[in-house]
Structure 1
Amino acid sequence: MATMNESLYPVLVLIDELKNEDVHLRLNSIRRLSTIARALGEERTRKELIPFLSENNDDEDEVLLAMAEELGNFVPHVGGVEHASVLLAPLEGLCSVEETSVREKAVESLGRIGSQMRELDLVESFIPLMKRLAAGEWFTARVSSCGLFHIAYPGAPEALRNELRTIYGQLCQDDMPMVRRAAATNLGKFAATVEPSHLKTDIISMFKDLTKDDQDSVRLLAVEGCASLGKLLEPQDCASEILPAIISFSQDKSWRVRYMVANQLHELCEAVGQEATRMDLVPAYVQLLRDNEAEVRIAAAGKVTKFCQILNPEIAVQHILPCVKELSSDSSQHVRSALASIIMGMAPVLGKDATVEQLLPIFLSLLKDEFPDVRLNIISKLDQVNQVIGIDLLSQALLPAIVELAEDRHWRVRLAIIEYIPLLASQLGVGFFDDKLGALCMKWLKDKVYSIREAAANNVKRLAEEFGSEWAMHHIIPQVLEMMNDNHYLYRMTILSAISLLAPVMGSEITCSTLLPVIISASKDRVPNIKFNVAKVLQSLIPIVDYSVVENSIRPCLVELSDDPDVDVRYYANQALQAIDQVMMSS
């Protein structure tokens, strides 16, 4: 009798919990379905658990979503592929619920199960389910059916395939826009499974219906299908069927459709082949770059480089560059920002002469833009131009702008310039750097914004790595150490940070002779924050310097700090002393 109770127990508990008013309890029991199924065994899972779940009429979306997800991984629990069809019933119910996320998860799980099913089971169970959904009274069922055709079609016999294509065609003309949207979204996946002969007839016919839909939300999803369909067709069919649709979409009355075309145009170009691209799509793209809606211009501007890469440079210079020039002074700052983020990539495409003559003036105007994001986007890609035009031209044209940006009132712009300085330094060389940029790097150490001071300290370290310790000893260290006497304690803190970053780069000898004395004298500072930072810096120097220096200089200083009146200073001094003891023990 005990065995009987034990075998009933999992189902009874599940039934009890799934009827509980507490949604969290119901959710937890659904998430434990696989454990319950293992306890029941495959046969009882098929005969008791799955029928029970099919009848479960929970109205909490979170519970239904968890159930849809769990069932997708349930094939092993019901006895493998030969019994997979028992899982279809509960998922079929979930395909009709109102909540989109539940339906999508149910369709995903059905797809996972259907792709494992044997051909016979597909024909006898999966395809009838899909047809029931496609003929469903509620639009939600018909929406769900659209996502299953690409799973069912490859395993269907020919007579059934003809029927499936007909049904999909009907879904593309459904009364409800939501169903037509689902049909448009899934058309590419379905098309990929259809035989080439039917691709050119049935699928293209469905595609044309969707491109002429009176709802812009359906048409813009058809745009997405252009690229995936184009890749399936022969180039000549693509040019005759897809290209006219793209050109028509680029002039669509809805800006959302034109936006989608602008976003996808380079992919569409690749789908229709280069020859057709050069001939027919350049005017369409130019039109999008000059669109009266800023959102469309933003999308088009963001693809300028990618589009130019599939054109020959002469066409790009002749047709696209004039639009780029217009966009650089566009009334929308977001359009200028989108252009600034990619325009640098045009330099390698256009080559040196066109870059110098045509692009450089546009770069410079964007570098002086009143909107900080535009300036930031240009700065972050400067190295792409340098590769094309060389450092001499770059420095003549861009350096004045960089110096101006280094003092920009927006701290994020200053931060971007600082992060770019080491790369610029390596490209400009040491002589040029000393002449023009050295003073700026020191100035940033005293910036009002903490993030700038922190980046400036890191910048000093990276420059020492780039130009070597000898250069740093002459050009950085004296100025940095002199700032340790600044009246403002926050600036003294920054210098301590810079010293701790420089020490590993400069090496033991310079650290001991030049940096350490300054740190030890800072331990007498009147501000506790400086003193506990001295303790931290001294701890970081332990691995760098000789043992004798640790014992003769660092330890006495820390012992003194460990008696400080301030609790934080004592804490960090003791931490550093413990670190010394650990090093001694391990050695």
Structure 2
Amino acid sequence: MSSESQEEYYPVAVLIEELRNEDVQFRLHSIQKLSTIALALGEEKTRTQLIPFLTDSIYDVDEVMVAIAEQLGDFVRYVGGKDHAPVLIAPLESLALVEDVNVREKAVESLRRLTREHTDRDLQDHLFPLVQRLATGDWYSSRASACGLFAVIYPRVNEATKLSILEMAKTLATDDTPMVRRALAGVLGELALSMVGCPPERDRSSAAQEVDRLLSESQSESSESLNFLVGGGPGKADPSGAKRNGGPGLMLNVSASTLPRLEETPEVLAARKQIVAVLLPLFNTLAYDDQESVRILALESTVAFARALSPEECEEHLIPAVLKAIAFKSWRARCLLASKFTDLQLAVGPEVTKRCLLDTFLSLLADDMAEVRSAAASQIKDFTANLLTSPAPSPAAAPNGESSSSGNAPISMDFSQASEDASPPPADSVSGGGGGGAGGSNSKLPKAGDLPDGNDQQSLPYLTAGAGATPSSGAAASGDLQNSFVLQKLLPAICDLNADSNVHVKSKLGLAILGLAPILGRDVTINHLLPIILSQLRDESPDVRLNLISNMEEVNTVVGVDHLSSSLLPAIVDLARVPVWRIRMAVINQMPMLAEQLGENFFDEKLMQHFFGWLIDAAYAVREAAVLNLTRLTEKFGSEWAKQIFLSEIVKLSHNENYLHRMICLQCIIHLSPVLDASISKDVLLPTALHMNQDRVPNVRFKVAQALAKIGEAIPSDLVSSDVMPCLQRLTEDPDVDVRFFANQAINSLKSLADGKSKANGNANTQSMQVDAVLPSDELMTTD
């Protein structure tokens, strides 16, 4: 072989050598350079040499195979464009057969990307036969990989091929291997959407990540239980995403609100009939599967099915199937439905929601499992907002031409008696705690002043229809059905959740109540939500109080100053003294908002005194938050307010025996200097900082240097030269290295500032001289 030929084939030789290297990192480096090597070889040699080589030597450690699969998905441009895209199918097919789930998922993902690079003819001639081979393969890994390709192939093939794809789905739905059924369950919704011409945005997260999200509230759930949920057995799920037995290409549904409305074309109507005839029976089969992970992934398709079908078809076929499935035996299935309830509501539309989903939502709020109640509570705000903003119910919207009030009983399920899994969550999980069941509907919700003091966690009584509440104008305009649901059913359910013994449930409820305030309006908030808010502010759990106090702004805006000062403010003030520092810090962060709503005088009288305690708090984060919020208040109320109200207290801290208090004094000076008037900085802040420059603690001295740098930016330059610079010069000779460092840093900063001012003044003088030279003299400007 000539020297030119050797040079020509050298990149391939390097690739081969590095692929055979024992060090995995060398092989990975080689794979990551495939695009560079392909460019060097050219399109023809990439097709005839590089791709066959990769196909023949595809089997390696998992990390290398994942890298190959990822590279090949974007390799069409290196093999000659769309006309030659089918040459990439063979290596990706080999990778799709690998047992490791990460390799298969990456291979299927790349194959899905390749479908966009194929013409419809090539898709029919090359990719559909690939799907057939995978779907009829002997190994479960092959059949599982086929499921991820159904939805992207279906819209672009002929009718006979479409029927073949549906037949393959039917066969795989009863496959003996749970991993195959799980893979199919994960793509049913996407396939339904592709049948009506509305494929969703594809989320490539794995099933394990989705289940982790669904069960995120189960803080103490055991690792083995979670692995069982994801992988079909103990030890088969790896949180790091390593080896898991499951199907690739598990397509997760996006929010229904992000999908466009389908146009009612004849093709869409025909496709919907086919979905009802073929896919919904598969959904029912998988939703009753023996494996819980299969059932959960099947129910993941609910929103996508609702999106693909008409509201009437959802009411007749989909919703009854879903409700029966979640009542089957799995609390995790109910948790899934609860977490997606708002998306389902948007997908089926307001009329079906009012007829079929209201009682179901209440049942989820009263579920036996705390995880389910928590997930449902997190949906209260959006569910109510969608309900109250939807059009008033129309009799013509009822199915079969009947009026919605003609006796059609709402489809609902009571889950309180549903049998649970054979392996319920551990006793120490989030489920431990009292249920939130409904009951006691004849009692009334208390007014704001009737709430028991302290941490009394007894159930707040129910609200009756005659409680005298007046909904907001928005709620009143939405019809009697919405009002009766909120006042007679939802608010009593919220009261029950407020008495729940589970912290996670009450935390989710607190956020929901805060979000409901602007939706329901002032009257309902004051009469019915405010007592629950006050109860949560006094809850024995720090997490519940912290969650609520950190998000109070919406409620404060709705209830007005009177109720804020008389009802909420005392509870907030009580929280300022609790032992948990995070709660104290959350209260401090609410002070600027309270000051804006209560006014300067009320704030000075009732709340300002607490800041002096926070400034010397034992927790540094609380002290720092106090300084930052004092700065915000000074920006709002002005320099004179700061001088009259608290600057004297700040100066007193400079003489405190505790060096931490002296440091917080300097921290206040650092933050307040930019927002105070120069005269106050000169008369109050500068003498205080200069007085502390000989403090016995080095930390205080270097904080003095930082403070002087900030003060120097706010005071006249002659004071900087006469007072600030000499002090900083002395600090540069301090025995402590940190003090010297910050002193030099302050000097350099002030010198740079002075040089910048001099340069700016020089430029201004130059421009003034130029303008004077251009302007005509007064004599020339006069006229006869």
TM-score bracket, shorter-length normalisation: over 0.9
Aligned partners of 2:115 and 2:153 also within 8 Å: yes
Aligned to 1:65: 66
Equivalent residue for 2:724? 554
- Match in the other structure for 2:753: 583
Q: Return the alpha-carbon distance in structure 1 between the equivalents of residues 749 and 556 of structure 2.
A: 47
Q: Contact 2:584/2:622 (CA < 8 Å) preserved in 1?
A: yes
Q: Deviations along 1:243-292, whole A, 9 cap, x unmatched? A: 21232244231111111111111211222221221222122111111111
Once the 2 structures are TM-superposed, how far is the Cα of residue 222 of structure 1 from its aligned partner?
2.0
2:343 matches 1:342: no
Q: Which amino acid aligns with 2:129?
A: P
Alignment of 1:77-96 (within 5 A): 77-96=78-97
Cα distance change on mapping 1:367 and 1:430 into 2, 3 Å: same
**Residue 432 of structure 1 aligns with which residue?**
602
Aligned residues: 587
Q: Give the structure 2 partner of residue 208 of structure 1.
A: 284
Within a 5 Å distance, the mapping from 1:162-173 to structure 2 comes to 162-173=163-174
Distance in 2 (CA, whole Å) between partners of 1:209 and 1:560 is 83
**What is the identity, as a one-letter code, of the residue corresponding to 2:186?**
T
Residue from 224, 228, 231 that aligns with 2:300: 224
Q: Map 1:443-482 to 2 at 5 A.
A: 443-482=613-652
1:30-80 alpha-carbon deviations (Å, 9 max, x no partner)? 111101111111101001110111111433111111111111110000000
Q: For 1:246 and 1:317, how far apart are their aligned partners in 2?
A: 27
Alpha-carbon distance in structure 2 between the residues aligned to 1:472 and 1:377: 31
Q: Please, which of 656, 659, 684 is the counterpart of residue 514 of structure 1?
A: 684
Task: Please tell me whether the aligned partners of residues 238 and 271 of structure 1 are also in contact (alpha carbons under 8 angstroms).
Answer: no
TM-score, normalised by the number of residues in structure 2: 0.73
Identity across the alignment (%)? 45
C-alpha displacement at 1:310, in angstroms? Answer: 2.8
Write the deviation string for residues 109-152 of structure 1: whole angstroms up to 9, x where unpaired: 10001122011211111111111111111111111111111211
C-alpha contact (below 8 Å) 1:313/1:350 kept by paired residues: no
Cα deviations across residues 301-336 of structure 1 (Å, max 9, x unaligned)?
111112222332431221111111111121211211
How far the C-alpha of 1:530 sits from its partner, in A, is: 0.8
Q: Conserved in 2, the CA contact under 8 Å of 1:313 and 1:349? A: no
The corresponding residue for 1:137 is 138
Q: Which amino acid aligns with 1:203?
A: L
Alpha-carbon distance, 1:480 to partner = 1.3
- Alpha-carbon deviations, 1:212-250, whole Å to 9, x = none? 323332222222211111111111111111121232244
Q: Is the 8 A contact 1:181 1:221 kept in 2?
A: yes
Instruction: Tell which deviates more after alignment, 122-131 or 380-389.
Output: 380-389
Q: Secondary structure at the match of 2:636?
A: helix
Match of 2:657 in 1: 487
- The one-character-per-residue Cα deviations of 1:383-434 (angstroms, maximum 9, x if unpaired) are 1112222121122111111111111111111111111211121111111111
Matches within 5 A, 1:282-361: 282-311=358-387, 312-361=482-531
Q: What is residue 404 of structure 1 aligned with on the other side? A: 574
| Matched position secondary structure for 1:193 | helix
Letter in 2 for 1:55: D
Distance 1:252 1:286, change over 3 A: farther
Q: Distance in 2 between matches of 1:565 and 1:21?
A: 57
Aligned to 2:671: 501
CA distance in structure 2 between the partners assigned to 1:98 and 1:574 by the alignment: 63
- The CA distance in 1 between the partners of 2:325 and 2:380, in whole Å, is 19
Q: Secondary structure at the match of 1:213?
A: coil
Residue in structure 2 matching 1:380, options 515, 536, 550:
550
Q: Distance in 2 between matches of 1:280 and 1:112?
A: 39
The AA in structure 2 aligned to 1:108 is: E
Matched, 1:247 2:417: no
CA contact under 8 A between 2:181 and 2:294: conserved in structure 1? yes
Aligned-partner residue type, residue 515 of structure 2:
G
What CA distance in whole angstroms lies between the structure 2 residues aligned with 1:411 and 1:27? 49
Matches of 2:717 and 2:168 in 1, distance apart? 83
Give 1:194's aligned residue.
Answer: 195
C-alpha distance in structure 1 between counterparts of 2:578 and 2:541, whole Å: 11
- Counterparts of 1:136 and 1:420, CA distance in 2: 62
Determine the C-alpha separation between the residues in 1 that align with 2:591 and 2:275.
55
1:250, 1:288 within 8 Å by CA — same for their partners in 2? no
Asked whether the 8 Å contact 2:673–2:711 carries over to 1, the reply is yes
Task: Provide Cα deviations, 1:2-40, integer angstroms capped at 9, x if missing partner.
Answer: 210111111111111111111111111011110111111
Residue 28 of structure 1 aligns with which residue?
29
SS state at 2:562 partner: helix
Residue deviations 1:356-383, cap 9 Å, x none? Answer: 1211111111111111110011112211
**Letter matched to residue 467 of structure 1:** F
- Trace 1:104-119 onto structure 2 (pairs within 5 A): 104-119=105-120
Q: Which moved more, 1:42-51 or 1:555-564?
A: 555-564
Report whether the alignment pairs 1:564 with 2:734: yes
Q: CA deviation at 1:350?
A: 2.3
SS at match of 1:364: helix
On the 8 A contact 1:247/1:281 being kept in 2, the answer is no
CA–CA distance in 1 between the matches of 2:737 and 2:518? Answer: 59
Greater shift after overlay, 280-289 or 304-313? 304-313
Higher relative contact order (CA 8 A, sep 6+): 2
In structure 2, C-alpha distance between the alignment counterparts of 1:584 and 1:468, rounded to whole Å: 27
2: CA distance between counterparts of 1:396 and 1:402?
A: 11
- Write the distance in 2 (CA, Å) between the matches of 1:207 and 1:132: 24
Which amino acid in the other structure matches residue 134 of structure 2? Answer: L
CA RMSD of aligned residues (A): 1.5
User: TM-score of the superposition, structure 1-length normalised?
Assistant: 0.97
Distance 1:249 1:339, change over 3 A: farther
Aligned counterpart in structure 1 of residue 357 of structure 2, from 263, 281, 285? 281
Deviates more, 1:5-14 or 1:570-579: 570-579
- Aligned residue for 2:117, secondary structure, equals coil
Q: CA deviation at 1:176?
A: 1.7
**Which of structure 1's runs of 4+ aligned residues deviate more than 3 A?**
583-586
How many Å separate the matches in 1 of 2:26 and 2:605?
Answer: 70
Secondary structure of the structure 2 residue equivalent to 1:369 = coil
| Displacement after TM superposition at 1:342 (Å) | 2.3
Matched, 1:182 2:258: no
Q: What is the aligned partner in structure 2 of residue 42 from structure 1?
A: 43
C-alpha separation in 2, matches of 1:326 and 1:473: 49
Q: Retained in 1: the 8 A contact 2:18–2:27? A: yes
For the 8 Å contact 1:250–1:262, the answer to whether it is kept is no
- Are residues 1:537 and 2:538 paired? no
- Contact 1:341 1:374 (C-alpha < 8 Å) held by counterparts: no
Q: Letter of the aligned partner of 1:32 in structure 2?
A: K
Q: Cα gap change, 1:585/1:344 in structure 2, threshold over 3 Å: closer, same or farther? A: closer
Q: Which has the higher helix share?
A: 1
Distance 2:287 2:59 in 1: 39
Amino acid at match of 1:87: L
